[in-house]
Amino acid sequence: MRVRRTFAKWLIILGVLHGTVVSAGFFAPYDPVEQDRKSPYLPPMRVHLMDVHGYLHVRPFVYSQRLQEGSFDQYEEDTREPHPVKFFLSGARYQLLGLLPCGMHFFGAENARIYLLGTDAYGRDQLSRLLFGGQVSLFAGLLGAGITLLIGLGIGAVAGYYGGWRDDLLMRVAELFLALPWLYLLFALRAFLPLAVSPLEAFFLIIAVIGAVGWARPARLVRGVVLSAKERDFVRAARGFGASNGYLLRRHILPETSSVLLTQAAILVPQYVLAEMTLSFLGLGVPEPVPSWGNLLSSLQQYSVLVSYWWMYLPALIMVPFFLGYLGLASSLQEREEAYKIQRSSLGSLT
């Protein structure tokens, strides 16, 4: 019971995190590629409640920033006019969930631009880019994990169920894939695919590459489950009644692998999000101007950015809550698997 509760807790946390990213258009104040060339590398704005004259405001507000005298990248707050933070106002058009055309934003300011996480070299809002970038990175991770699990399920099922030379061959290839350090393998696959492609092509290329890399471990786990499942009494009984291979796999054997697959998914998704980040960071992934968590960080490869504009580092930390959520989910799933195993073995001893 306790295991189920922690499982639900992590699922809710992850749901909220993903929900925020999925509805990025609503939570982001601006369009992620909209440039504000007059304010490059603007530091994050402070949200005030008290203005320079010492008056307390009910509604939080920000001051817009202007260049300091004689500087090209140092800003100071323009304290002449406070810009109150407004909620649910209309702004840049976007498609909610990729379907509903919509214009309402969670927050923003009238007559001024509000940059809670600062801006990048082109004056693009970092918060908006971060939220929209999450759509790319998380989707890549989820879809990649889906592909890996499908491949792993297929290969593991064939190897475990049919056995013989198929098993030998497939498991040998799996060993090859396990023998390569996975980042090198990812590089190797990426190396031999076209470099200059459109963002959308690059995105699907990345997903395909990431998805194709990790199938060996799930395949081995699935094979193990299938091996033990096909010798269980009810499967033998079904076979005795004349069930076909396809029916047995579909109806009796593959459902047994669901808990293993679920745990693997919780482990793989953050790993794959990180893989996307790494590739994009190194310039092998999703190209500009489309934001992704990886290419948001790639400007940090220049020392000047690293030294002067600390807020450009913030996207690196965005993975932490997601990692935490997935780690919690994975460990609660593993606990559940253990509990299930113990339950089953104690039942087995009764009969």
Partner 1 sequence: MRYLLRRLGHALFLLAGVSVLAFLFTALAPGNYFDEMRLNPQIRPETVAALRAQYGLDKSLPVRYASWLGSVIHGDMGFSFAYNSPVAPLLLVRARNTLLLAITAMLLAWAVALPLGVWSAERLGRLPDRLLSWGTAALLVIPDLALALGLLVLAVRSGWFPTGGMASVDFETLSPLNRLRDLALHMILPVTALVLSSLPLLIRHARAAVADVLNAPFLLAAVGHGIRRRTLLYRYALPAAANPLISLFGFSMGVLLSGSLLIEVVMSWPGLGPLLLEAILARDLYVVVGGILFSTLFLVGGNLLADFLLYWADPRIRTESSAP
- Looking at beta carbons only, is 261 or 277 nearer to partner 1? 277
The residue among 93, 127, 73, 92 whose CA lies nearest residue 296 is 127
Q: For partner 1, how many residues bind (rule: CB under 8 A)?
A: 42
Handedness of CA 16, 21, 24, 29 (dihedral sign): positive
Interface pick for partner 1 out of 7, 75, 122, 323 (rule CB under 8 A) = 323
Nearest CB to partner 1, comparing residues 104 and 327? 327
Residue of the chain from 67, 150, 227, 324 that contacts partner 1 (CB under 8 A): 324
Which CB atom, from 13 or from 104, has the smaller least distance to partner 1?
13
Q: How far is the CB of 183 from partner 1 (least distance, A)?
A: 4
284 lies in the binding site for partner 1 (CB under 8 A)? yes
Which listed residue (319, 334, 335, 336) binds partner 1 by CB under 8 A?
319
Helix pair 258-281, 199-213: axis angle to 10 deg: 130
Cα angle: 96, vertex 97, 99; to 5 degrees: 75
Report the residue number, 107 or 322, with the smaller CB distance to partner 1. 322
Contact, 3 vs 332, CB < 8 A?
yes
Site for partner 1 in 262-281 (CB under 8 A): 274, 277-278, 281
- Told to check if 183 binds partner 1 by CB under 8 A, we report yes
Q: Applying CB under 8 A, does 327 fall inside the site for partner 1?
A: yes
- What backbone phi and psi angles, to 5 degrees, belong to 163? 60, -155
Tell whether residue 20 is a contact of partner 1 (CB under 8 A). no
Q: Rule CB under 8 A: say whether 2 interacts with partner 1.
A: no
Residue 317: CB atoms within 10 Å = 8
Find all residues with CB under 8 Å of 156, minimum gap 6, and list them: 218, 219, 220, 221, 222, 223, 225, 226, 257
Residues 97, 169, 195, 339: which binds partner 1 (CB under 8 A)? 195
To partner 1, the closest distance from the beta carbon of 296 in angstroms equals 11
Q: C-alpha angle with apex 308: 75 to 123, nearest 5 degrees?
A: 55
- The site string for partner 1 over 117-156 (x = CB under 8 A, - otherwise) reads ----------------------------------------
Nearer residue to partner 1 within complex by CB, 180 or 243: 180
- Looking at the DSSP bridge assignments, the partners of residue 48 are 61
Query: Helix/strand/coil (H, E, C) string of 168-221?
Result: HHHHHHHHHHHHCCHHHHHHHHHHCCCCCCCHHHHHHHHHHHHHHHCCHHHHHH
Q: Within 13 Å, how many C-alpha atoms sit on residue 147's CB side?
A: 18
The answer to the question of residue 180 lying near partner 1 (CB under 8 A) is yes
| 3-state helix/strand/coil string of 229-283 | HCCCHHHHHHHHCCCCHHHHHHHHHHHHHHHHHHHHHHHHHHHHHHHHHHHHHCC
**Does 204 help bind partner 1 (rule: CB under 8 A)?**
no
Compare residues 85 and 159 and give the one whose CB is closer to partner 1: 159
100 binds partner 1 (CB under 8 A): no
The residue within the footprint of partner 1, chosen from 13, 96, 102, 193 (CB under 8 A), is 193
Centre a 10 Å sphere on the Cβ of residue 155 and count the other Cβ atoms it contains: 22
| Residue 169 in contact with partner 1, rule: CB under 8 A | no
d(CA 318, CA 284): 21
* 83 beta partners: 62
212 near partner 1 (CB under 8 A) = no
Which residues in this chain contact partner 1 in the complex, by CB under 8 A?
Answer: 172-173, 175-176, 179-185, 187-195, 274, 277-278, 281-284, 297, 300-301, 303, 306-307, 310, 313, 316-317, 319-320, 323-324, 327
